[in-house]
Structure 1
């Protein structure tokens, strides 16, 4: 490719990026404009529902039922708009040094009551020597919440969620492994597309928002899944430049190997959902 062609391609990419930014800004403004009248509708429906709470006649009971339908749809639209605005604003982040383990612990604490209620065991293998990464706490928290929420919803009858942090060749990695229903190939291919959802009433923006948030941190996300076995998400974040210049070193690689060994030794860890544990799965069968 000649220098002229490269320059033209660069200009075209800049033009497309500018168009995307303008559309995203317009869509965000439109979503905000929709939220305002929707809030008014929701509040008035709530007041109307209170007026009809003691409905005695068939006519007023029918009216109350219709009001409840409108309330549910208002709530659904409100959630959809909130999800969309989070998706649209993910790129607006401010990165500061932070600890991935601490962020994970805070998010897992949010899900502790639900895990207990749904009989889901959360197993942690968090590398104590994990270096800091550059993060935007709110954006990263939202991404982790979406991923863990997705894993929990895949285990309605209980199961195990393994959370593991480790050093990798390129930075800091996080594995989220569940023993849920797993996904077929079609779902796995489209799961990160905006508005794609296999769940009734789902907005289809949770996982796309998670991926967008991770990529805004310079990271990437990979998924392995098997129907009836479960799913493994692997997220990797780059090291800050100062740490990356010196490399993670042999000690860091040894720590990573030690963490991996600890996870494999536990009989309770649900590693059968990934290819690396196929031998363990065969022994159990």
Structure 2
């Protein structure tokens, strides 16, 4: 039995980081192990559905309905596991110099057809004098895809999405401003909590993953939102020290 008076040893930052990394690796391995049998279950459900493709009796129709229900839940679990694996890997970056304008432009181009279909006007205000920043292009685009997707989903009846890049005192920033449904205070406070979601069937890992990716770049993400008025996400990234020194020297 542990004596209540026995002091609990404090862990150093390195020990805490090592414990977190070990736990993250274990959780990632577990997710992989779950995915394999889950894929087998879903595949066999699809084969069973083919056998009951033309049900002749009420019993067969009930069986088909149950098969389809299990298949939907398997797909939902697979999506959740994929989101979790992306979340667990979000801090691992392959850093290189890149341009924030190019990154957000590619994502907006990706959603061009959906924007037009939803009646969303996309406006780009890009500062073409932006300095380069240290980024992992694939990871950053994954974060931007999530933010743009959320913005479009917040405007089902159309609206306006503004993407604005600008130079800040310490680096560069990207503002994503939509005229969608906005968020109430409770949602805004919890939006970056893992597994918190207001969407039916949502994993609640999209925004936490986006924040983790941005913070792994040494950046930060902020949000302002008003219910029924819209939302603004602001992403800020630091300029690499050597580039910042060169820019300061050029100004002198």
Alpha-carbon separation, structure 2, partners of 1:250 and 1:234 = 28
The C-alpha deviation readout for 1:108-130, integer Å capped at 9, x for no partner, is: 12111211111111111111111
- Count residues with an aligned counterpart: 243
Give the secondary-structure state (helix, strand or coil) at the position aligned to 1:44: helix
The C-alpha deviation readout for 1:192-220, integer Å capped at 9, x for no partner, is: 11011111111000000000000010000
Q: How does 1:1-285 map to 2 (within 5 A)?
A: 12-247=12-247
Give the secondary-structure state (helix, strand or coil) at the position aligned to 2:244: helix
Q: Which stretches in structure 1 are left out of the alignment for 5+ residues? A: 1-7, 252-285
Alpha-carbon separation, structure 1, partners of 2:72 and 2:206 = 20
How far is the alpha carbon of 1:246 from its aligned partner?
3.3
Greater mean alpha carbon deviation, residues 22-31 or residues 121-130:
121-130
Q: Which stretches in structure 2 are left out of the alignment for 5+ residues? A: 1-8
The C-alpha deviation readout for 1:144-179, integer Å capped at 9, x for no partner, is: 011111111111111111001111111010000000
Alpha-carbon separation, structure 1, partners of 2:81 and 2:141 = 19
Give the secondary-structure state (helix, strand or coil) at the position aligned to 1:113: helix
Moved over 4 A (4+): 247-251
Give the secondary-structure state (helix, strand or coil) at the position aligned to 2:87: helix
Give the secondary-structure state (helix, strand or coil) at the position aligned to 1:102: helix
